[in-house]
Amino acid sequence: PLQLTLGLLKPDIFANPVFLDLALARIRAQSHMRIRQATIVQWSPEQAADFYAEHHGKFFYQRLCDYMLSGPFQALVLEGPEVIRDWRALIGPTHPIRARIRQPHTLRAEFGLTDTRNSFHGSDSPANARHEIRKFFPDFIFPKDLE
């Protein structure tokens, strides 16, 4: 079945045109995924609070919101047969410093800065992918054969 996922290229990488191009080239080089839609956004504090509601109260919550509100960023709808897993494998572990040791060829290992400023996001399940895609692409028409 077809899968879709939401990918984010967060404000730090979006602000660096050289890194942004390198990251997009890495995505385009993946034969099992395709960028189906892309948009550039600048969140309001309310949008950040809504998207990260599950992290409210955690020690990194304010840092995370400040980071995501620091500038514009890019949202992608990615498509592929196992794109949720494949995209998370490509971006690598949440913590870029650990990723550099364990999975050095991942995007967070290469471009991520810190635990919070980890440059990329990927949905973790088909249900969350739908939910997150709707937030960034309210007019998106989900295909019928979607997992």
Would you please indicate which residues are annotated as catalytic (active-site) residues? 121
Q: Which positions from 51 to 90 touch ligand CMP by CB under 6 A, shown as an x/- string? A: ----x----x---x--------------------------
Q: Which residue carries 């990615």 as its tokens?
A: 78
Task: Scan residues 19-48 and list those touching ligand CMP (CB under 6 A).
Answer: none
- Amino acid symbol at 32: H
# binding residues, ligand CMP (CB under 6 A): 8
Contact predicate 60/115, CB 8 Å? yes
- 123 counts as binding ligand CMP under rule CB under 6 A: no
- Residue 88 assigned ligand-binding role: yes
The Cβ of residue 114 has, within 10 Å, a number of other Cβ atoms equal to 14
Name the token pair of 127: 């249900």
Helix or strand run (H / E) with residue 76 = strand 73-80
- Amino acid symbol at 113: L
Q: Which residues participate in the annotated binding site for ATP?
A: 10, 60, 88, 94, 108, 118
Where do contacts with ligand CMP occur on this chain (CB under 6 A)? 55, 60, 64, 94, 115-116, 118, 121
